Amino acid sequence: MAAVKETIEDVKKLEADKYKYGFTTDVETELAPKGLNEDIVRYISAQKNEPEWMLEWRLDAFERWQQMKDPTWAKVEYPPIDYQDIHYFAAPKAGAKYESIDDVPEEILKDFEKLGIPLKEQEVLLGVKGAAESAAEARQAPKVAVDAVFDSVSVVTTFKAELAKAGVIFCSISEAMRDHPELVRKYLGSVVPTSDNFFATLNSAVFSDGSFVYVPPGVRCPMELSTYFRMNAEGTGQFERTLIIADKGAYVSYLEGCTAPMRDENQLHAAVVELVALDDAEIKYSTVQNWWPGDENGKGGVYNFVTKRGDCRGKNSKISWTQVETGSAITWNYPSCILRGENSRGEFYSIAVTNGRQQADTGTKMIHLGKGSTSRVISKGISAGRSDQTYRGLVSVHSKAEGARNFTQCDSLLIGDQCGAHTVPYVECKTSKAVLEHEATTTKLSEDQLFYARQRGLDEEAATALLVNGFVREVLQELPMEFAVEAQQLLKVSLEGSVG
């Protein structure tokens, strides 16, 4: 088939310049020396003026981590990581946190501006870049509060005052440790314990910053919250930690975006995200992950090893994960829900696109413990180029989870004959009063549909983009509007050059 040959050639041509976030920003950086030992852990803790208990917590995690080995069960291949060849802390000079937006160095502001993340509140009010134009007409331009994380530190958090009026706490996790130690102490590590897995334990020892959200009982957070992660400095790893708590009856929607410059080396990103939803609370967590995926030969790119877990602790609580993953050389990411509360609900909507030499092993876990807990998993994987992608999921229903219900659908689309798509679902059921359904398909784009779209006047690339958008529609619908548009664009760019 001629098209296949062209596809391969086109993928070869897939140039680095397709990645428009690959620039670096010149900003004076303070680096911890390379390597990892107890002193580095103490250094990070000291940099953040942390209380003694936090240092103990980190050192305990570090001790455990030294006993652990890299996990090998995922279907990804990469050379062994030299954990001593990484800077575990990098911060723009002149203080970790800026009091007001005016103090943030111009370079960093420009960097975020280039990324389309306006940090000045007046700009934000004018509407978020990339938001649908029709949406702007249809309703007031939405407000999004942003916590911007640059390398290891949170540089600025917007709309704090307005959020405080509603009682919502939104700040960097280091601030939270100072200002709300009782909350941090109560919840940190309560969903992902320090000993959870290799990367989570590493994160517990060296995490530098991240966001903290607490929504008090009965409060519906008045705006979308978001964090933007940017890895800039060379030879660094980013280890952020996010903790979101929705108290009884609260609601919060949270967005996360990430990019990194193009570098020849592999950068390590090992984050931990913990969500806690109490009675009747709801957390919606959306991610657009666009770390630098490496060039067409698989050189460079971010290793994305992330532990994300939500705990539906209260009755009728709900946690929903939505993710669009197009970046990273290697992705190892399983956002999960522990459905502890009665009638709690977990949702997972995912689009993963791999191209070039990317490898992704991703999926979710739904652990049903509470009576009447329900979950829904929709995963859409698209592999192109010479990439490999695996959906790995677990649905587990414990004997007390009477009336539990799960529906899982994972569809894979292959573009070109050099890529792979794999599905590894685990289903464990220990009660008869549960209904579990799982469906999976693997296909290529239908020639008929392509032909139809082309004879209506679309070129092949536009036709493919249209069909792919249709394929992932169910997930796109779950994204907040601002993200949906960005995600659609991202899909198009990621697949550019993958069809002949």
Partner 1 sequence: MGAITHTPAEKTLIDLLDGAEDWRAAARDAVVRFGLPTKRAEAWKWSDLRRASHGIETAGQAEFRLNGATAADRLTIDADAELELAAEAGISVASIEIDIPAGTRVVLKERYSLAEGAFPTARLEITLGEGAELERVVLCDTPENSIPVVRSRVVVAKQAHYRQATLTFGSKLTRNETHITHAGEGAEVELGGVYLLEEGRHADFTSTVTHTGPGGVTHQLLKGAVAAHAQGVFQGKFKVEQAAQQTDAKMTHRALMLDDRAEIDAKPELEIYADDVQCAHGNALGAIDETALFYMRQRGLSEVKARAMLIESFLAEPLDMISDDVLREELAAILRQRLGAIR
CA 79 to CA 163: how far, in whole Å?
A: 45
Nearest CB to partner 1, comparing residues 134 and 432:
432
Nearest CB to partner 1, comparing residues 53 and 426:
426
Nearest CB to partner 1, comparing residues 157 and 406:
406
**SS3 state at 174:** helix
User: Least separation, in Å, of the C-beta of 491 and partner 1?
Assistant: 18
Q: Are 412 and 389 in contact (CB under 8 A)?
A: yes
Nearest CB to partner 1, comparing residues 20 and 444:
444
Nearest CB to partner 1, comparing residues 43 and 407:
407
81 Cβ contact list (under 8 Å, min separation 6): 70, 266, 268, 303
Q: In a 10 Å sphere around its CB, with 0-12 CB exposed, 13-18 middle and 19+ buried, how is residue 394 labelled?
A: middle
Side-chain-side CA neighbours of 53 within 13 Å: the count stands at 8
Query: Which residues contact partner 1 by CB under 8 A?
Result: 4, 73, 399, 402, 412, 414-444
User: Least separation, in Å, of the C-beta of 495 and partner 1?
Assistant: 14
Angle between helices 52-67 and 198-206 (to 10 degrees): 150
User: Least separation, in Å, of the C-beta of 427 and partner 1?
Assistant: 4
Nearest CB to partner 1, comparing residues 27 and 410:
410
User: Least separation, in Å, of the C-beta of 93 and partner 1?
Assistant: 48
Closest CA to 364 of 404, 417, 406, 401: 406
User: Least separation, in Å, of the C-beta of 471 and partner 1?
Assistant: 14
User: Least separation, in Å, of the C-beta of 91 and partner 1?
Assistant: 42
Closest CA to 417 of 43, 9, 63: 9
- State both tokens at 219: 């409060």
Q: In a 10 Å sphere around its CB, with 0-12 CB exposed, 13-18 middle and 19+ buried, how is residue 35 labelled?
A: middle
Nearest CB to partner 1, comparing residues 181 and 420:
420
The DSSP secondary structure of 374-386, one letter per residue, reads EEEEEEEEEEETT
The DSSP secondary structure of 124-161, one letter per residue, reads HHT--TT--HHHHHHSPPPPEEEEEEETTEEEEE-SHH
Nearest CB to partner 1, comparing residues 402 and 461:
402
Nearest CB to partner 1, comparing residues 37 and 443:
443
- State both tokens at 395: 């649905």
User: Least separation, in Å, of the C-beta of 476 and partner 1?
Assistant: 23
User: What φ, ψ does residue 369 adopt, rounded to 5°?
Assistant: -115, -30
User: Least separation, in Å, of the C-beta of 334 and partner 1?
Assistant: 16
User: Least separation, in Å, of the C-beta of 401 and partner 1?
Assistant: 11
User: Least separation, in Å, of the C-beta of 131 and partner 1?
Assistant: 35
115-118 contact pairs (CB < 8 A, 24+): 115/21, 115/228, 115/230, 115/257, 115/259, 116/486, 117/146, 117/148, 117/228, 117/257
User: Least separation, in Å, of the C-beta of 197 and partner 1?
Assistant: 16
Nearest CB to partner 1, comparing residues 24 and 399:
399
Q: Are 113 and 61 in contact (CB under 8 A)?
A: no
- State both tokens at 213: 């959200």
Residue with tokens 């001629």: 2
Handedness of CA 255, 21, 348, 212 (dihedral sign): negative
Nearest CB to partner 1, comparing residues 37 and 399:
399
Instruction: Find the helix or strand (DSSP H, E) in which 308 lies.
Output: strand 301-312
